[in-house]
Amino acid sequence: MPDTINGLPLHPLVVHAVVVLLPLACLGVIAIALRASWRARYGGLVVVVAALATAAIPVATQSGESFASRVGNPGQHAELGDTLLWFALPLLAVAVALVVLHRIAARASEPTTSALTTEAPRTSALAAAPGRSPLLLAVAALAVVIAAANLVQVYRVGDSGARAVWQGTQSAPAQDR
C-alpha cells in the first residue's frame, strides 16, 4: 500500500473516511432500528455506508502503522485504533440483520392467495406485524446499543489521535531525523 498520495500521508486522508462514514452508519442504524418504515426505504443505504466504513478501518490502521514509522509511535491512539474494527463489524452485522429481518417480516405478513382459496396471512414469529416481532425488536435494541458503543469508540480513537498530533505525545520516530 502506498504511504502517501500526492506527497500527503495516506493515514490522515483515510481516517477522514472512517470519521465521517462510521458515525453516519451509526446514526443510520439507530434510525432504521427506531423507525420500521425507514428500514425498507433506507436500510440498504445504511448497510452500504456501514460496509464502506468497516472496509476503511483496516486501511486506516495499516496506513497508521506506516505513518507511525515516519512521525513516531502515537501510543494509546494506535491501541484504540486497532479495536475499532471489532466495534464496526457488529454494527455492520446488526444493520444487515435489521434489513433482512424486516424484509422477512414484510413478506410473512403479506397474504398469500391461491387459485382456489384465499388464505389467511402466513404465521411465523416475524409475521405479527412488520417491525413489531420480538426478534426484530430485540435486534433493534441491540443495534442501538452497538451504534452508541461505536460512536463512543470513534470519539475515543479520534480524540487520542488528535492529542497525539497536537500535544506532541508521540515518541520519537523509529528512523533518524
Q: How far apart are the first and last CA of the chain?
A: 23
Residue with the three cell numbers 417491525: 131
Note the pLDDT of residue 69: 72
Q: How many CB atoms lie within 10 A of CB 146?
A: 23
Is 50 exceeded by the pLDDT of residue 53?
yes
Is 70 exceeded by the pLDDT of residue 129?
no
Q: Tally the residues of the chain.
A: 177
Asked if 59 and 124 count as a contact pair (C-beta separation under 8 A), the reply is: no
Cell of 172: 520519537
Residue 177 DSSP code: -
Note the pLDDT of residue 130: 57
Cell of 116: 382456489
Note the pLDDT of residue 2: 72
Calpha distance 12→149 (Å, rounded): 23
- Mean pLDDT computed over 124-146: 80
Note the pLDDT of residue 167: 78
CA-nearest of 104, 95, 106 to 28 is 95
pLDDT digit string, tens, across residues 20-37? 999 999 999 999 999 999
Is 90 exceeded by the pLDDT of residue 172?
no
Note the pLDDT of residue 101: 96
Of 35-39, 70-74, 134-138, the least confident: 70-74
CA-nearest of 71, 76, 75, 65 to 173 is 71
Amino acid type, 22: L
Q: Give the contacts of 161 (CB within 8 A, at least 6 positions apart).
A: 15, 74, 77, 81
Does pTM surpass 0.85?
no
Calpha distance 4→163 (Å, rounded): 22
Note the pLDDT of residue 19: 95
